Amino acid sequence: MSSPTPLASSVDFAARIGATSAVATVVATDTISPTLRSVTLSHPDAVKLAGAPGQDIMIYVGEHDGHARRRRYSVRSVDPVAQELTLWIATTHEGPGAQWARDAAVGDSVDVIGPRGKIFLDEMADWHLFVGGTVALGAFYRMAESIDPPGRAVFVVELPDPADAVTPVLDEAITPTGIFIDRGDRVAGDPAGILSALAAFDFPPDEGHAYLFGEFSVVRAAQSALVDRGLAPEQISLKAFWRAGRDNADHGEPTKD
């Protein structure tokens, strides 16, 4: 029996960006927290598809106006022995990606393009500041788990539900600090909680790097705040996963206008 073939549009797109197109298989799903659902995919090239910590993969989630609709998800973890990769996906909103994650079942075939993304862990940094929302936890924790000891990982994460405060398992030589903010009645896209937490946070000594992943307006506001605090632009990496009040484009990116 032959293996499933990726969509022609996926093969073409992957070729243009120097990535790999494949059809993976769902081998496990789980509910991580009220907001997060994990989906584990198996493929002989899973390690290649996943790329480095901080990168993501693109999932085909259906058609829209005659065009392939895709969504991008950071890789939470990779099992090189089993050739499996796991995604953590927020499912509390209404959207094609969240619906796909809610419906995903063991045995499903999934059209995948990867790896995507250009943000990697700064190996020269003494401390790493991860700022964003629940949607970024998968990326943050995979990156933090790749820090060479000794080092320090600081997480400033806003949660729509306090039970979303799941934590990673880090090397005992890595010093972790977790600042979890309950969003409460604030609307998604309001940076007030993140900005308040950053204002109260004292930068550790030596050189650091900040990674801002999450809602468009929040990561932009956090970037400005950190620059005002003295971080140089090259010490800040940011990636908007979504934008409040607007659907992502068919390729999975939020609009920037």
Q: Is residue 253 part of a domain?
A: no
Domain presence at residue 256: no
Rounded to the nearest integer, the mean pLDDT of the chain is 93
Domain boundary among 55, 81, 116: 116
CATH of residue 157's domain is 3.40.50.80
The answer to whether residues 137 and 33 belong to one domain is no
166 compared with 92, residue with greater pLDDT: 166
30-43 burial string, b = 16+ CB within 10 Å, else e? eebbebbbbbbbbb
80 and 18 within one domain: yes
Same domain? 148 vs 219: yes
Judged by phi (left if over 0) then psi (alpha if -120 to 50, else beta), residue 53 lies in: beta
How many other CB atoms are found less than 10 A from the CB of residue 106? 11
CB 58 within 8 A of CB 114: yes
Domain boundary among 64, 83, 116: 116
Question: Could you tell me the residue range of the domain that residue 221 belongs to?
Answer: 127-242
CATH number at residue 112: 2.40.30.10
* Position with higher pLDDT, 30 vs 204: 30
- List pLDDT tens digits, range 142-195: 999 999 999 999 999 999 999 999 999 899 999 999 999 999 999 988 999 999
Asked if the structure places residue 249 within a domain, the reply is: no
How many domains does the structure of the chain reveal?
A: 2
What is the tens place of the pLDDT at every residue in 39-81?
999 999 999 999 999 999 999 998 877 788 999 999 999 999 9
